[in-house]
Amino acid sequence: MVQSVSESGQNGRHVGRSAASPRVVVCAVIAVLIALVGHPATAAAGAFLRVISQRAPVHSGPGNEYRAIYYAERGDVFEVLERGTTGYWFKVELEDGTTGWIYGELVFPFERVKDDKAGFFTRTGRAIKRAILGPPPVVHSDVEISFSAGVLDGEGLFVFRPAWLIDRQVAVEGFAGLSPRKQKDVFLGGLGLTLRLAPGATIGPYVHAGVGAAHIRPKADNFTDPQETLMAVAAGAGFEITFKKQITLRLDFRNWTLFDPDQASNGQEFTSGLAIFF
């Protein structure tokens, strides 16, 4: 009997070990599944900051002694990457992929949950904006230099446009251009004002008006057209589209009027190019 009980006890222990093994496997599988399912939830709901001051500098480090690399406007939202170990500072990611630190007194922290009810076009637009678009540099710049090429009145046109940004909306813009043609060359130069309608937008529209002069110089083999200088007036609109790394594409449409007391002519400009901000 003792031997029998002992054997049965050993068998019971063996059964207990074999039964425990599946439970361990099941628990491990459940733990892995919970971990895998938990990742999307963490990505869907993260910590964010909304700027509540009129303007908030983003520094290269957690302190005012670090260089300001960007100036956020009221209502801007940033994802929080980490909390500073000293002081009330948050590390955030800017739309162009760079990172910086912002002071906690200037922002309001909150959590944002992924919106699964957004339509296809809304989700596509957000994905494109996150992937290729960035914050406009115009909000923290003083100078813009752009180089554009296109057509004027059906002929080629190359334009250099430096600008001084008085504020986020208004800029004084100069222009110097050349329109090479078969029988003559047209040199353009002057000054104007640019009004940005949405200076904080990634795709920012603007309007422009300027005045200057157009010098017309005939080609060497053109003996019929005179060399002359006319007044030039331009008015139009355009867009600045900011991509990652603050690469800005500029698109312009303008109507040009060249005139003197005896004559006048109109031509339409369609140009595109790159803009650099400082």
Residue 39 falls inside a structural domain = no
Are 252 and 186 in a shared domain? yes
What is residue 200's predicted lDDT score, i.e. its pLDDT? Answer: 72
Query: Which CATH number characterizes residue 77's domain?
Result: 2.30.30.40
The tally of domains found in the chain comes to 2
Residues 91 and 148 occupy one common structural domain: no
Q: What is the per-residue pLDDT for 22?
A: 56
Residue 140 has pLDDT above 80, yes or no: no
Q: Are residues 247 and 215 in the same domain?
A: yes
Q: Is residue 232 part of a domain?
A: yes
Whether 119 maps to a domain, the answer reads no
Stretch 122-148: mean pLDDT, rounded? 79
Do 269 and 220 share a structural domain?
yes
- Looking at the fold, whether 270 and 166 belong to one and the same domain comes out as yes
Same domain, 255 and 208: yes
Q: Are residues 165 and 62 in the same domain?
A: no
Residues 270 and 222 in one domain: yes
Weakest mean pLDDT among 2-6, 99-103, 104-108: 2-6
Q: Bigger pLDDT: 256 or 32?
A: 256
In a domain, 123, yes or no: no
Strand partners, 148: 159, 273
Span 6-57, pLDDT tens digits: 333 444 444 344 444 555 544 554 454 444 333 333 333 468 888 998 889 9
Residue 65, pLDDT above cutoff 70: yes
Q: How far apart are CA 187 and CA 47, in angstroms?
A: 55
Least confidently predicted of 6-20, 89-103, 140-154, 156-170: 6-20
Q: Residues in the chain, how many?
A: 278
Q: Does a structural domain hold residue 2? A: no
128 found inside a domain: no
With respect to residue 6, please indicate whether it lies within any of the assigned structural domains.
no
Q: Is this prediction's pTM over 0.75? A: no
Question: pLDDT averaged over the chain?
Answer: 81
Alpha carbon 259 to its chain's center: 40
Return the residue matching tokens 């104007």.
192
Considering the domain boundaries, does residue 31 fall inside one?
A: no
Q: 150 and 266: one domain?
A: yes
Asked if residue 148 lies in contact with residue 252, where contact means CB atoms within 8 angstroms, the answer is yes
Q: Are 114 and 241 in contact (CB under 8 A)?
A: no
Task: Give burial (CB, 10 Å; 0-12/13-18/19+) of 278.
Answer: exposed
Quote the pLDDT of residue 21.
56
pLDDT at residue 88, as a whole number: 85
User: For 183-231, what is each residue's pLDDT tens digit?
Assistant: 999 999 999 999 999 887 788 999 999 999 999 999 989 888 899 999 9
pLDDT given for residue 148 in this prediction = 97
- Domain CATH code at residue 162: 2.40.160.20
User: Are residue 263 and residue 203 in the same domain, yes or no?
Assistant: yes
Q: Do 144 and 210 have their domain in common?
A: yes
* pLDDT for the residue 115: 53
Q: By residue range, what is the domain housing residue 68?
A: 46-114
Residues 147 and 268 both lie in one domain: yes
Predicted confidence at residue 112, as pLDDT, reads 59
Instruction: Look at the block and give the residue holding tokens 């029988």.
Output: 183
Candidate from 57-61, 135-139, 259-263 with smallest mean pLDDT: 135-139
